[in-house]
Amino acid sequence: MATKPTIQLLGLALCVLGIYSGPNLAQSNNSSLLSELTPVTKEMLIDPPAEDWLLWRRTYASSGFSPLDQINRQNVAELELAWRVELEPGPNSPTPIVHDGVVYLLSTGDTMLAMDAVSGAELWRYRHESDAVASAKIGIALYGDKLFMPTANMHIVALDSRTGAPIWDSEITDLAVGPRSHRLRGTPLVANGMLIQGVTATMIPEGGFIIGLDLETGEEVWRFHSVARPGTPGGNTWNDIPLEERSGGSVWLPGSYDPELDLVYFGLAPTYNTAPLLDPIYKPGVSNDALYTNATVALRPGTGELVWYYQHIANDQWDLDWVYERHIIELEVDGAMRKLVLTAGKMALYDAVDAATGEYLFSMDMGLQNIVTAVDSETGAKTISPDAIPNAELSHLLCPFANGGRNWPAAAYNPRSKMLYLPIAEVCMMAGPTGAGGNLLSTGVSLQISPTADSDGRFGRWQAVNVETRELVWAHREVVPPTSAALATAGGLVFIGALDESFKALDDSTGEVLWVTDLGDLPTSFPVSYSVNGKQYIAVAIGTPTVNANIWLGFVNDFAVGGDSIIRRLRRSGPALMVFALE
């Protein structure tokens, strides 16, 4: 066997020749940090160490909350940039994963980076080569000594977390062929010995799906189709249209997991092929609900078995997805402790359902939408305003805009205070009539972005909600909408990035801005917090464009007072990972 120095010299020679595509030699200067990495265990994922950020939203419950409190209300004004690492340009919305002082980040172009969490020094990098166009992805999963990354050409690759060396490469098969294709956006989820990955499908016949892969080999074990097939449960809810005309059910965001119940929870998107579903055909046993779109599905991770589902909105005609994060919360409801799944779609209307059964419990409306006029207190069934039913003659001001009162920027939930912090955009649309030339939905309905009827020129809202009392506690409002997920910490802080390239820390009890910095580019990612040797850090990726942020840029430019000047002030300094700490 070659000695370690011999291996390093061989690697150097191959790099000079340009034929070594594995981890770079930066790892040799940080060998102790990498060699001391401990394997990530099942127990660590269930109860993550406070200093690490091991999952997309830190916990299986998707809380987006850090128990670290070194950075707090009293000293956050002293927060300064600790280090900055430039990233590749291109679409992305990454989440750093941090373990034992190492930061892992999936950059654009399927490039995986391992960095020293204190200095940002590169430890190794791996690039998955393919001819596929770069695609936006949220991040990676970590388990044992393996790191799992999704790629633009529909592969899942397992890497050695210490070296970046490939362990296995699994291609997802049986995909659509044509100009539109399936995509991987959400992070993989490790749950009870299975690697679970959602797949998007915009206008692809037969829709999206969720797969379970063997952790050791990458072999596909099961597949759950998010668009119900004819002849299967839910298959008669597509207005009797054939399978090749059914589409949607994209799985844009990662799932949550309850280890006690052994259930994973995913949100599924609607379909864009809305025209065949608009009017029911009134055939016995057939509906136009379009399962499992706009539903929460609870699956058994070992088998993919559907244990229960709850459809939040049937037959969505406005692309108002209920596809976002699923918070798993223990809460007293009607005098009894319940474990529930809490989630909101683009209307910023929350539903809470029982985590074990899917039974409807309650709803919370952030007060932005005018599409749902009533919610049944027993079932959660929504009454839709007559103005929100597409027709061939009239347009109506509907709220929110199809881009959403909330979108992929995730809410954070503090389990200690029972407070939820949601990034919101107060923007509406002149909707209709059908056949007006709109190209998003197959009814051809027009969707023209518009301010709210009583707009004061401030379109961004940071909303705090007490989930226990279901009361809106405070709202911080600005001209520009938020563009990053929320990060809450035990230091009494909420961090959120916005369209003006700002990154703020707010007092979590009052909404007062305690610290703000100019990032130099758009924060369109998921901020995290971690600690190394007793020092707390806040990390956020910037400069990776998203459709969500680009739509808001155009809107602010057209409608906000001084909007053009806001756009001109943007520096757009380029993609980077920026990490802050107290000096």
Task: Give the β-pairing of 65-66 and 487-489.
Answer: parallel
pLDDT digits (tens, 9 = 90+) for 419-440: 999 999 999 999 999 999 898 9
Number of Cβ within 10 Å of residue 466's Cβ equals: 14
Same fold across 55-93+386-405+408-583 and 180-319: no
Note the pLDDT of residue 583: 86
Cα distances (Å, whole numbers) of residue 454 to 61, 161, 251, 348? 37, 52, 35, 18
Q: Which residues of the chain have pLDDT under 50?
A: 1-28
Locate the domains of the chain by residue range: 22-51+94-171, 55-93+386-405+408-583, 180-319
Which fold would CATH assign to domain 180-319? Thrombin, subunit H (2.40.10)
Report the CATH number of the 55-93+386-405+408-583 domain.
2.140.10.10
Number of Cβ within 10 Å of residue 345's Cβ equals: 26
pLDDT digits (tens, 9 = 90+) for 303-332: 999 999 999 999 999 999 999 999 999 999
**Contact call for residues 565 and 495 (beta carbons, < 8 A):** no
**Contact call for residues 377 and 393 (beta carbons, < 8 A):** no
Note the pLDDT of residue 549: 93
Note the pLDDT of residue 202: 84
Which sign, positive or negative, has the C-alpha torsion 393, 395, 396, 401?
positive
C-alpha dihedral (333, 339, 345, 351), degrees to nearest 10: -30
Q: How far apart are CA 98 and CA 351, in angstroms?
A: 31
- Beta-strand runs (E) in 88-208: 97-99, 102-107, 111-116, 122-127, 141-143, 146-150, 155-160, 166-171, 189-191, 194-199
Q: How far apart are CA 441 and CA 81, in angstroms?
A: 44
Report the CATH number of the 22-51+94-171 domain.
2.40.10.480
Q: Which residue has the tokens 């020679």?
A: 13
